[in-house]
Structure 1
Amino acid sequence: MIDMKVLNKKISFYIPSVFTALNLLLGFFALLINEPLAGCLLILAGAGMDVLDGAAARLFNSRSETGKQLDSLADMVTFGVAPAFLYYHYVLPAGWISIAATGMLPAGAAIRLARFNVSTNQKNIFRGLPSPASGLFFAAFPLFEGFFPLPSFILLMLPVIAALLMNSNFPMFSAKTLKYGLQENIPALIFIVISAGIFIFLIAFREIPAEQGILVSIPLMVVVYLLVSLLLGKKIRKLEDMA
């Protein structure tokens, strides 16, 4: 006779890994489809799966070392390799310099994820730009660049800057602080207000369709996230050791 409690426990243990696997597959599909809008949407959906796998692990108390490593492998594909692929094919000019520049994204993401896995001081905040934020920035950039073209030199430097930021020690706020009060979430609130303002500006004054405006605004939102974190770094650092 099947012990339902044991069966439910086993199922609960694997639910987070299902979301993690979906995250990885969505990144893989973004590579296969190789189309900027579809790729961006798939990577955005992968970010959603990344949030859900962590939420499921906390809900079912099913955190494991295997799940932790699998999560990083999935993030490497979805937020490291796939965005670099789209950025190279749809933003940068073909050539070895562009290949070397975009290679910084998966390399930087791999090092950042490895550092995160062995870190003991990122319970409530992040140290360095999270790989999903970097991945979403570059996944959405082909759409952003269609409305806001930038010089080639800057486009080549962006992956290098992102790789350095991912592996910096700058304190950056995290959604993990939502369990605390309003005072602890001021950085997140500032980010939300400014991001909403950016979205409204794009659709109202740049006449970008609303459905595109969300995706086009992602690179700007990542920049806002970075600036808010840097400017309020002292406040964010205090959250590091909170229980």
Structure 2
Amino acid sequence: MDDTSSPRKRPRGIYLLPNLFTTAALFAGFYAVLAATQDRFEAAALAIFAAMVLDGFDGRIARLTHTQTDFGAEYDSLSDMVAFGVAPALVAYHWALGALGKVGWLAAFVYTAAAALRLARFNTQIGVADKRYFQGLASPAAAAIIASGIWTANDLGLAGSDFSWLTAVLTAGAGLLMVSNFRYFSFKQLNMQGKVPFLLTVMVMLAFAIIFMYPPLVLFLLALGYALSGPSWTLLRLKQNRARRRSGRDEPPESIP
């Protein structure tokens, strides 16, 4: 008689469809590095964004087709490390950080190492952490800051050597946010199949219109705003907790990530 109380294990086989998307995301990250070595920085940035789209598809397809495996999860993490850990750092290095010498490669390494630590921590917290939030900035969001920033500057004809220090701050800063304890909304609890107000539909259409007006700058501002939302949310919670203590309420303060 089968023991129905035992946890269901993932199958050990390899499924083609979800892993095709993972491989495509891996290739996009690899191509971004190659494009950067040839000074084709707009192509490199677009390749990183393509990896983000493909990375979003592989997990959803695996869940929809019930083809989730331990192999797929590990392969996805390795693909993310290349596309969102190594590729953005090397693209930033070829564009601007190389002009700073040791400081430049140190900033690039801080980002790469932080991405590896972020992915390792995420993998160990699967099934335990609150799915509504990320602990630390997600690696695709961190990669979006670097990719969209370089894309914007390149589109405006700005030389990377003129923004070396700013690029170093953004690169190292994005890396440190990945390994921070700041909480970020994950958007995983949004119901894409339920009914939504008509006004929300209009707002989504306006958002797409604004993005297509000037994609690189709008995407950079969105990525930077999301990155700053974690520290801002934490400061707001701290301020609210101090206000509760001053008011003498007996309610326990909310936990701060």
Q: Contact (CA 8 Å) 2:12, 2:70: kept in 1 or not?
A: no
Distance 1:62 1:232 in 2: 36
Partner of 1:15: 17
Query: Which digits, 9 at most, give the CA deviation of each residue in 1:75-109, with x for residues without a partner?
Result: 11111111111111113325121111111111111
2:179 to 147, 167, 172: 167
TM-score by length of 1: 0.74
Deviation, 1:143, is: 2.3
Q: Contact (CA 8 Å) 2:12, 2:69: kept in 1 or not?
A: no
- The one-letter code of the counterpart of 2:180 is S
Deviation, 1:50, is: 0.4
| Cα 1:118–1:216 shift into 2, 3 Å | same
* Fraction of identical pairs, as percent: 35
Partner of 1:112: 118
Partner of 2:223: 222
Deviation, 1:179, is: 2.4
Stretches of structure 2 that go unaligned for 5 or more consecutive residues are 1-10, 195-199, 238-253
Deviation, 1:41, is: 1.0
Distance 1:226 1:43 in 2: 17
- The one-letter code of the counterpart of 1:116 is F
Partner of 1:127: 135
Deviation, 1:64, is: 1.8
Q: Contact (CA 8 Å) 1:125, 1:174: kept in 2 or not?
A: yes
Q: Contact (CA 8 Å) 1:91, 1:142: kept in 2 or not?
A: no
Deviation, 1:126, is: 1.0
- The one-letter code of the counterpart of 1:223 is L
- The one-letter code of the counterpart of 1:50 is D
Distance 1:65 1:56 in 2: 15
| Cα 1:122–1:77 shift into 2, 3 Å | farther
Query: Which digits, 9 at most, give the CA deviation of each residue in 1:96-155, with x for residues without a partner?
Result: 211111111111111100100011204232111000011121122222234488864333
Correspondence list, 1:41-190, <5 A: 41-92=46-97, 93-119=99-125, 120-146=128-154, 147=156, 152-179=164-191
Partner of 1:186: none
Q: Contact (CA 8 Å) 1:105, 1:162: kept in 2 or not?
A: yes
Distance 2:192 2:34 in 1: 41
- The one-letter code of the counterpart of 2:41 is P
Distance 2:100 2:181 in 1: 33
Question: How many residues matched?
Answer: 208
Deviation, 1:61, is: 1.9
| Cα 1:64–1:37 shift into 2, 3 Å | same
| C-alpha RMSD over aligned residues | 3.2
TM-score by length of 2: 0.70
Distance 1:155 1:18 in 2: 33
Instruction: Say whether residues 1:31 and 2:33 are aligned partners.
Output: yes
Q: Which moved more, 1:36-45 or 1:151-160?
A: 151-160
Q: Contact (CA 8 Å) 2:14, 2:71: kept in 1 or not?
A: no
Distance 1:152 1:40 in 2: 17
Deviation, 1:228, is: 3.5
| Cα 1:10–1:99 shift into 2, 3 Å | closer
Query: Which digits, 9 at most, give the CA deviation of each residue in 1:31-53, with x for residues without a partner?
Result: 11221111111111111110000
| Cα 1:19–1:142 shift into 2, 3 Å | same
Deviation, 1:10, is: 11
SS of aligned partner of 1:117? helix
Partner of 2:251: none
Q: Which is richer in helix?
A: 1
